[in-house]
Amino acid sequence: MKTIKEVVLKGDNNESVTVKPLVEDILNAEQQAALTPDEVIASLKEGNRRFVSNDLTARDHTQQIRKATHGQFPKAVVLSCVDSRVPVEDVFDKGIGDMFVARVAGNFVNEDILGSMEFGCKVSGSKVILVLGHEHCGAVKAAIGDVKLGNITAMLTKITPVVKATDFDGDKTADNPDYVHLVCVNNVLHTMEQIREKSPILKEMEEKGEIKIIGGVYDMDTGVVDFL
């Protein structure tokens, strides 16, 4: 099978820059076990800084796929919105085998996602759960507007309690970006609490210091993740 030997990118002043893709060693069980949750969080933050500065790692995914075939030991579980404008692995400059990623409109939890998180942490050893919301979230706006449409109606019931509980002085509509932002932040915080409330396994792991459950909001205008 053909492998990638080099990639030509456009640098400053539109000059061509030749970059040799990185073939990273896939994390093994011993390396994963040695990581602390704080180290993983620091790695996510540093990866986001590279993303914002347009300094993403050039990876050879073909080789990474082969290296990850017989096992996976990801560092983190990320729950993101389904929004196509939030490329989770790129946002944190991570490659194959680095993260479990669950996606659903509005980044809420249900039984299936909680089970996936328990698998990622309790079974597979991930050290961090990150709930990642984002600005201009269509699901949050739809919940604010009480949209009624097919299965979307039932889906939005996971977010509407946050809308009702959000205290805000001003225009409480989807047209007010300040209000949408606040609901977005509160939705992330609510999801974090739901994880602890509905998964005794993950709550106990957090209390023991084995994992950390954190939140963040992705700014589409800048690419920056604001860690809550």
Instruction: Give domain status of residue 144, yes or no.
Output: yes
pLDDT band, very low/low/confident/very high, at 73 (cuts 50, 70, 90): confident
Whats the size of the chain, residue-wise?
228
Instruction: Give domain status of residue 116, yes or no.
Output: yes
The secondary structure of residue 134, as a DSSP letter, is E
- At 159-204, the pLDDT tens digits run 999 999 999 999 999 999 999 999 999 999 999 999 999 999 999 9
pLDDT reported for residue 17: 47
Whether 9 has a pLDDT exceeding 50, the answer reads: no
Whether 68 has a pLDDT exceeding 80, the answer reads: no
Range of the domain at 98: 7-227
Q: Are strands 128-134 and 76-80 parallel, antiparallel or unpaired?
A: parallel
Which residues does 42 contact at the CB level (< 8 Å), separation at least 6? none
Radius of gyration of the chain (CA): 19
d(CA 124, CA 100): 10
Alpha-helical runs (H) found in the chain: 29-34, 37-52, 61-67, 88-91, 111-118, 138-144, 150-156, 160-165, 177-198, 200-207
CATH no. for residue 57?
3.40.1050.10
Whether 24 has a pLDDT exceeding 70, the answer reads: no
d(CA 128, CA 97): 15
Average model confidence (pLDDT) for the chain? Answer: 89
Whether 3 has a pLDDT exceeding 50, the answer reads: no
Q: How many domains does the chain have?
A: 1
pLDDT reported for residue 20: 53
Strand partners, 99: 76
Instruction: Give domain status of residue 209, yes or no.
Output: yes
* 3-state SS, residue 14: helix
Instruction: Give domain status of residue 1, yes or no.
Output: no
* Count of helix runs (H) and strand runs (E) in the chain: 10, 7
pLDDT reported for residue 210: 98
Whether 53 has a pLDDT exceeding 90, the answer reads: yes
Instruction: Give domain status of residue 59, yes or no.
Output: yes
Among 72-76, 138-142, 183-187, 211-215, which is the least confidently predicted range? Answer: 72-76
Instruction: Give domain status of residue 2, yes or no.
Output: no
